[in-house]
Homo-oligomer: A and B are copies of this chain.
Amino acid sequence: MSTITATAPPTASNSAGKLYRLGRIFGADGRTVVLPVDHGTMLGRVSGLEDPAALLETFLPLGPDGFLLGPGLAARTAPAFAHRNAPARLLTIDTYWRGEQSGEHVLMTSLAHAAALGVDAVKVLMPWDVPAEERAARAKLIGQVIIEAEPFGLPVMVEPIVLASPRPANATQIEADGARMAAELGADIIKVMTPDDPSLLSDWSRELGLPIVILGGPAGCTTDDLLETVQEAINAGARGITIGRKVWQRPVDEATELLVKLAQIVHPDR
């Protein structure tokens, strides 16, 4: 009996919409290659991403599963996605700025605007190596985003992250705590750094009941190291990657080759 003619579990329109959108992000193998080009929303005119629309156009033909981008770029590049085989779009809706004493986390746009743009998910940061009071503020904001996204059927990707550099010894523990908090708040996708022991990804996936995608972070490792890290993460249960700077902060030819190899690791059967 086919899946769609069988009596399905009861659904609401927003839940059906969420299912539809998540299916556009994750391929038939349940995995995804997302190329983030949203760095201007925090890093400004970052090296290698000076012209995000041009970069997007360069990498579109490689067929990543999705792009992560900010509101302005999403509106400007809508024509490039205005066909049925286009990658998914995940919208970064927040910006976070860390001062000496404290950090401020705000939304750049509204969930209603995200829905109007027709993106497939929204994404928010969750800095978690922050003072207790800020954790409360982060949890409140992310909880509100999740509540407001729900009637629009928009999935929410949350990125629990340790921002301190160098990373403290307990960074993985902090990010594990943040991931749990994100799951408790109702996140749909977790974006996180691969822990030193990648097998933790397997534990976290089971425990959280959510797809986990791994981030890249600043450039600076060899392509071989990156490929190995990603392979380990995928082996350990990661459902995909959102790696930007480590890809496009290289010469275009090298970046292209690297993205193709990463896609092969994530989607070996494609």
Query: Which residues of A does B touch, CB under 8 Å?
Result: 2-24, 27-28, 38, 40-41, 43-45, 50-54, 56-57, 65, 70-88, 95-100, 102-110, 112-113, 115-118, 131-137, 139-140, 143, 146-147, 150-153, 155, 173, 176-188, 203, 205-207, 209-211
Contacts and interface: CB of A to CB of B under 8 A. Distances in A.
Copies per complex of this chain: 5
Contact of A5 (B3, B53, B136, B180): B53
B106 A140 contact: yes
B103 A151 contact: no
A83 B186 CA distance: 23
Contacts of A73: 183-184
B41 A181 contact: yes
A181 B9 CA distance: 20
Contacts of A181: 40-41, 44, 95
Contacts of A97: 132-136, 139
Given A184-B40, A184-B72, A185-B109, A117 B17 contact: yes
Contact of A153 (B117, B151, B177): B117
B176 A44 contact: yes
Contacts of A72: 182-187
Contact of A10 (B19, B41, B133): B19
Given A136-B97, A185-B109, A188-B10, A81 B116 contact: no
5 smallest beta-carbon distances between A and B, as pairs: A23-B82, A44-B177, A104-B136, A15-B15, A106-B140
A95 B139 contact: yes
A86 B28 CA distance: 12
Contacts of A110: 147
Contact of A84 (B53, B84, B99, B211): B84
Given A143-B109, A185-B72, A117 B40 contact: no
B84 A185 contact: no
A188 to B, nearest CB: 5
